[in-house]
Structure 1
Amino acid sequence: MRVLLLFALFLLGMGDGPVAAAETYELLFRSTALKGLEAMPDKSETRQGTLVYDKVVSGTDVGQAGGSFGIGLKIKPDDNVSMTLYQGTRSRALGNYPASVGNPVIMYFLESVLADVAGQSGGSPFYMRNRIKEALLRDAQVVPVSRRYQNRDIAAREVTIRPFTKDKARERMGRFAELALAVTVSEDVPGWYYSLVATVPAAAGGAEAGYSNAITLKRAGEDQP
């Protein structure tokens, strides 16, 4: 439910933004992202309706979720997609979401980044979410890139936003004012998202490590990492 709520909050308020903003939203929140992936019955052994992502988080404070994880998405016959987080032998269900609204991994990514950055900076996640929405309407950068997937080069686009570059509260945010969110998408990868990466540089001259939260498509066709 938290991911769906965040999805709604991001879409609300888009209003009559410029055409470029609408195109950016379509790239990031593509409703047909899961199109072409077949539903997989619970007891099926074909494993054709699943996606697996690697997630690596570094530079978090003690007590926050750093380390290496797996994320599994399973397309179900009822037009829903279940999302599960794995770490070693442990797993945790992240919920079930309508496949018709797109791939929920992007909203999970944004939610986890907001939680990490708000927790470390002491800022409000609601304020940060609004700045991200504003950056999508105003400052998103979209560039063509080439990526390697399944032993071949694929054409992709990288969408980057820096939500606090022009923020009035920038001075109070320290190094977190340099947060960058880069999402790489391609028609040539299942699920649409090749990678989703959030970065914050290390403090200049300080001992704090830079923050990174990276989710990368690992493979398709298996139901768990």
Structure 2
Amino acid sequence: MGFVRGWLVAVAVVVGAGPVAAGQLADVIFRPGAFAETTDQTRYSHARSGPEIAGLRLVTGGELVVSPHDAPAGTQLGLTHRVDGKDLPVADFPATGGDPVLLWFLENTVRSMALITQGSPFYIRNRLREALGAAGLERAEGPVTAELRPFAADPRREQMGAFADMVLRITVDPGQPVPLRALSADTTAAGGSYRETLTLESR
């Protein structure tokens, strides 16, 4: 659970550094209690593709499952990665906290990029945090997608290959009990082969 705490604290610092814009993405994706109004399992379909390199297991299909359950400390969210019919427990998270699905996806992106580029995961993680903290979100009825290019102006772009132009898309519907609808991290438009998606399944 440490990676979740790290993401929450870091983004909170970035967001809290100045006035929060009315349409700031972080207001939606990091609001506490993302699954507070749900009692059933929530499932996201997961896919990842990319180059074959040592240490990176390419998952072509699977699910990320969020299972609320009671615990002495209050309602917990059990996060499980289901791959090839096998359940791989991730961790339990307090239901009153931020959305663990988003943070799991972001950490996957950090690890994949670090393995492929041989870059520093700390540097990559910090750039993603800054991009999330600064991102705006248009007001709309129903789902809306924020499109981020975290490394578009990065001074280390030349060392990142296709990741220099990676596009991170976050689709949310602020009016829904589970606002996070879809995520993608994609380098294919820049000539890369890494692409990862997480999509909410029908409830």
Classify the TM-score, shorter chain.
0.7 to 0.9
Q: What amino acid is the match of 1:25?
A: A
Q: Could you say which structure has the larger radius of gyration?
A: 1
Give the gaps of 5 or more residues in structure 1: 39-48, 146-153, 221-225
1:72 to 65, 68, 71: 65
In the TM superposition, what are the counterparts of 1:1-225 in structure 2 within 5 Å?
1-14=1-14, 15-20=16-21, 23-38=24-39, 49-63=40-54, 64-66=56-58, 67-78=60-71, 79-138=75-134, 140-143=135-138, 155-187=142-174, 189-201=176-188, 204=191, 209-220=192-203
Query: Matched residues in 1 for 2:106 and 2:132: separation?
Result: 13
Cα distance in 1 between the residues matched to 2:167 and 2:19: 22
TM-score by length of 2: 0.86
Distance apart, 1:122 and its partner CA: 0.8
Q: Deviations over 1:154-209 (max 9, x none)?
A: 711212221111111112212110112111011454421110111112665xxxx5
The SS at the match of 1:155 is coil
Of the structure 1 ranges 186-195 and 165-174, higher mean CA displacement relative to structure 2 is found in 186-195
One-letter amino acid matched to 2:197: A
Structure 1 CA distance for aligned equivalents of residues 79 and 57 of structure 2: 18
Secondary structure of the residue aligned to 1:100 is coil
| Mapped partners of 2:18, 2:154: distance in 1 | 19
Q: Tell me the amino acid that sits aligned with residue 115 of structure 2.
A: G
Length, aligned pairs only: 197
- RMSD over aligned Cα atoms: 2.3
Change (3 A) 1:81 1:30: same
Rounded Cα–Cα distance in structure 1 between residues aligned with 2:90 and 2:64: 9
Other structure's SS at 1:85 match: strand
CA–CA distance in structure 1, aligned partners of residues 19 and 117 of structure 2: 31
8 Å CA contact 2:25, 2:132 repeated in 1: yes
- Once the 2 structures are TM-superposed, how far is the Cα of residue 34 of structure 1 from its aligned partner? 1.0
C-alpha distance in 1, partners of 2:113/2:103? 15
More strand by share: 1
Residues 1:137 and 1:73: Cα distance change in structure 2 (over 3 Å) = closer
Give the Cα separation in 2 of the matches to 1:137 and 1:131.
Answer: 10
